[in-house]
Amino acid sequence: MRRLSHTLGSCLLLSAVGLAGCDLGDVPLGGDETDDFKLTETAAMRHIGDAIEGGADLTLRGLIEKGDGVAFSGTPNPAALLTGTNTLDDGRARQGRAPVSVLTWNVALLDVNLLGVIPYTETPDLERRRRVLPGLAFETGADVIALQEVWLDEDVETFSRRGQELGYRPFVHERQGHNDGLITFIREDAIAGGSTVSFDFESYGSQVVTGYFPGPGIARGWLSVRFVHAGAGPIHVFNTHMQAFPENWLGRVKQAREIGILVREIQEATGDLVVVAGDFNSGPYYSKAEWTAPGGATVDRWLHNAIAYPTMLTYGNLVDAAIMGRPENDAIADITLGDTVVNNADTALDIPGAEEGWCERTPNTTFTATDCNSLYFDQYAGTEYPARLDHILVSDGDERVIVTKSALQFTEKQTFGDLVREPSDHFAVRVDMLVTPR
């Protein structure tokens, strides 16, 4: 496990002089052949290149080097990427494949104090929700469950104990020092008898300083588990929670590149099926660059926020399993629903979705983070685009995967004693696959 403490001091120094982020040893630009791919000649990035000023000749390396100098001449439209992904497995035979199911869920158990005593942030209705969340997650019966924001030791212990009672094996790194609340569970009867399971955790090389100070010492990273599935063979699962907020888009792109390179190297070296699941804080589509929040503050990096998602697809040689499993008429729902999003700062604090009837007209089938979720509304009302931030990506270079179904879960309100609301501020994503054994 890489520790960041030896470079933390220099990061804090940068913070003191007004820099929001720094790199703590991510893969040097030019160190991977994909860096030289032109955006417009790359399937997952073509729509980004088409919408960037001067994008016709821009490489992935050039995009990262430009940083906030990247300017858009139009809205990146991923329709071709999404429709192509949706039909990717349509002609594949189903015989001889083994079922594998994966769930990812940000459970919003954020409960942290500065220096262990000063309240910093806490998600609403924590005590009542944390008693019910473990049962909800494990009752899904998914082979792999990747959770984010299981923040405290007591929550780790509760989830681990309940998971073991229901036939799951937990994998978690220690919660002291740098952590981001990641924990992964593998269903015991999905693990081939007598096989070895390996586990690792790393922090990303690119980090935003304010996560350390005045924040609670958060280091974004990934947790990986490699196991032999009883039916499908070796599977390497990455669980991640990437950098938040649109203004930090470049750090998130660097994180996507870093994990993508690692994922692709594992695929090439082992032939394992690789799954990357988690909260990427990056959606595939935003209709406009700017968003005005209640109070009048405007953030203008929302189109940039769509770059990290295809960056990971490209560097990791990955495909979006959730899109593969969608009904054909919903293939570009990120776009069709995204174009209906309402940004009205005057009404956003009073009306979820900022317009009467918008939530009722917008089914909870696409956006995993939305003001139509009352828990999300309580925390972020009117400040962010509704978007699909939570993803399950898979390696598919050898066409081993068919996705039979994908869907959001826990979109309905639950009863927690006298409380009725959604169990988390993010909806979960589940995919059911058929995988050729290896």
Distances (CA, A) of 415 to 66, 78, 419: 49, 38, 6
* 290 domain residue, yes or no: yes
Over residues 315-373, the pLDDT tens digits come to 999 999 999 999 999 999 999 999 999 999 999 999 999 999 999 999 999 999 999 99
* 355 domain residue, yes or no: yes
Considering the chain, what percentage of its residues have pLDDT values greater than 70? 89
Q: Which residues pair with 173 in a beta bridge?
A: none
Distances (CA, A) of 104 to 116, 154, 182, 391, 397: 29, 21, 11, 7, 22
Q: Is residue 210 packed enough to be buried (19+ CB in 10 Å), middle (13-18) or exposed (0-12)?
A: middle
Over residues 90-112, the pLDDT tens digits come to 999 999 999 999 999 999 998 76
CA distance 126 to 251: 30
CA distance 247 to 20: 10
| Residue 180 in this model has a pLDDT that exceeds 70 | yes
Q: Which domain holds residue 150?
A: 83-435
Range in 5-9, 24-28, 168-172, 325-329 with the lowest mean pLDDT: 5-9
* 316 domain residue, yes or no: yes
Over residues 377-410, the pLDDT tens digits come to 999 999 999 999 999 999 999 999 999 999 999 9
User: CATH number of the domain that 113 lies in?
Assistant: 3.60.10.10
Q: What is the pLDDT of residue 10?
A: 42
Instruction: Give just the sign of the alpha carbon dihedral 218, 410, 309, 237.
Output: positive
* 2 domain residue, yes or no: no
Q: What is the pLDDT of residue 155?
A: 93
Range in 1-15, 242-256, 325-339 with the lowest mean pLDDT: 1-15
Query: What is the SS3 assignment for 294-351?
Result: CCCCEECCCCHHHCHHHHHHHHHCEEEHHHHCCCHHHCCHHHHHHCCCCCCCCCCCCC
* 236 domain residue, yes or no: yes
Residue 66 CB partners (closer than 8 Å, separation 6+): 58
* 60 domain residue, yes or no: no
Structural domain count of the chain? 1
Amino acid at the residue 357: G
* 346 domain residue, yes or no: yes
**pLDDT band at residue 5 using 50, 70 and 90 as cut-offs:** very low
